[in-house]
Chain A
Amino acid sequence: MTCRRMPSARQALTAARKAIRSACPRLPLGSGLSTVPVALVLTVTLLAAVRPELLTQHAPDATSAQTLRPPGSGHLFGTDELGRDVFSRLVHGTRLSLLIGAGATAIGATVGTLIGLAAGLFGNAVDGVLMRCTEVLMAFPELLLALLVITVTGPGTANMVLSVGIAGAPGYARVARARVLAVRGAGFVEAGLVLGLRRRHLVTRHILPNALGPLLVLAAVGFGGAMVSGAALSYLGLGPQPPSTDWGTLLADGQEYLQLAWWPTAFPGCAVTVLAMSVTALGRRLGGSIIGVGR
């Protein structure tokens, strides 16, 4: 592999952006068709997470006598079994859902990158041991690995985020290691060594930035997966405990009244799907144009 040098994260991002623009016309969905909805979804989601009260005038916990009303003019997404506005609950659950996805992705990416860096830099025995360990962890399906962690830690939001993060770490470790191995012998690293740069400087300023592009792509693709896993674990009752609400717990609550009303279940799931697809699409686009990972 040839290695382009990307001395800083900002430059890596700029390069990524440039690459996206140049690759856009060749994308299967056409740039205008897919970029606009993806950007729209991400903007609305972020707004809902930061300022939910701007999007809905109903309070998420305000009960009313109008129980299980179908979607209509008064309540956009209808009301649930206690007469609470489904749209409002969905909007107010966004922050927790996003935090779960982001937290798990951050934990997975950080732990994985550190493992991959260590394996790639120290080589030999360390590499052998760490990579055998990741291989073992990769033999577990991610959800089952997360369930194993939750068995140890017990349920709860923080533990669930940790479990999804750990389950995702081996993937990041592999990519980080591969990138480190690819640039370790490169001319600019050798030059740095000859110039007497300190090892820490060499790693943080020259080797790590080269791994950042692929890791960023993996994180974007992985974020969607982490959100879906998080929603699944919440749905199973292993995540946020009442009264905290995220999209997964909304789904679980809605299921009990599925026979009477589809809307309390349908809309939260729709939100998970649309957001996961949008972020994944973004990640794949990055991947297709930067380095060809993440398919």
Chain B
Amino acid sequence: MRSGVPRYVLRRSIAALAVVWGSVTVAFVALHLIGGSPVDAVLGPTVSATPGLRQQIIRAYGFDQPLVVQYGVWLGKLLTGDLGYSYQLNEPVPRVLADQLGPTCQLALAAVGVAVVVALATALLAAGRGRVIGAVVSAVEMAAVSVPQFWFGLLALSVVSFRWRLLPIAGDQGVASLVLPAVTLAVPVAGTLAQVVRAGLEEALAQPFALTVRARGVRESVLRVRHALRHAALPALNLAGWTAGSLLSGAVLVETVFARPGVGRVLITAVTAQDTPVVMAVVMLSATTFTVINLLVDLLVPLLDPRLRDGRATREARA
């Protein structure tokens, strides 16, 4: 076991690196699958160009090189953080995204906070409370998971902002304008988290140790929070990577609904304009975040759960 742990860490890290490399390659393939000439995407729909200018663009972007060479050059640039130029804005991609990351991260963090609080509260209060409460809560959880996020946002906007005039309608002005988007973004995450934590709690409460704790005269709330929650938290931790991914894809919709600045808005504009470098950068960013978070979780879980400390614990084995 002692030698197994570093080997496990190494193996997982290499696997994660391979996934990141793969996702970067997928992005490169996408760039070169694009219909028509990439020159047209650079020029945009409105500009007509002379053959001379087209030649210049081809040379400047290296479109005339063999694909393998382009791939190598591109990978090399990527390693130095050079993500290329946005065709539409004619700015380096990192600069395009840099200003947008702040609002999106703010939104995502607020949403995670809301989701975790709501999910934990629901699970702690509702786990193992009989069939009626279980049925109602699971129906609500399922609704939260199934409801199209953007529609929930539109309804919230209609009721809270237009009808009651409680919160600002759109934009990014302070905390008040963050409330509705964050809640909207949190809905599906909260639903899924609540399902997983509640199932985990119910399983933990049925185990012999719960009976032992109860027999010691410990209060039910203490049993739930201090003892059972630890068991329920591990499966939820495995959802961390998925959560990050769904927050980013949710941000695309939420930012559109609430007209907030952010990575999601930039992404939609870029998709519509076939501005591939920007799309690729966002997609690679999300895949990398997903992989890194999953790697961290994989490395953390054996530390938190003694039962998994045999060095062979993999995501597949736990799933």
A interface residues with partner B (beta carbon < 8 Å) = 28-30, 132-133, 135-137, 139-145, 147-155, 224, 228, 231-232, 235-238, 251, 254-255, 258-259, 262, 265-266, 268-269, 272-273, 276-277, 280-281, 295
Contact = CB atoms under 8 A, between A and B. Distances in A.
Interface of B: 18-20, 22-23, 25-27, 30, 33-35, 131, 134-135, 138-139, 142-143, 145-152, 154-155, 157-159, 162, 195, 245-246, 248-249, 252-253, 256-257, 267-268, 270-272, 274, 276, 279-280, 282-283, 286-287, 290-291
B146 A273 contact: yes
Contacts of A143: 249, 252
Contacts of A147: 252, 267-268, 271, 279, 283
Contacts of B290: 139-141
Contacts of A269: 147-148, 151-152, 154-155
A139 B146 contact: no
A237 B138 CA distance: 33
A28 B283 contact: no
Contacts, number: 146
Given A132-B18, A235-B253, A153 B35 contact: yes
Given A136-B19, A262-B158, A273 B248 contact: no
A135 B271 CA distance: 24
Contact of A258 (B147, B150, B154, B253): B154
Given A139-B290, A236-B252, 11 more contacts: A28-B131, A135-B19, A136-B19, A141-B246, A141-B290, A142-B249, A232-B149, A237-B272, A254-B154, A265-B155, A266-B158
29 contacts: A133-B22, A135-B22, A137-B26, A139-B20, A139-B22, A139-B23, A139-B287, A140-B23, A141-B245, A143-B252, A144-B245, A144-B252, A144-B282, A147-B252, A148-B279, A151-B270, A232-B150, A235-B256, A236-B252, A236-B256, A238-B272, A258-B154, A266-B155, A269-B147, A269-B151, A273-B146, A273-B147, A276-B148, A277-B143
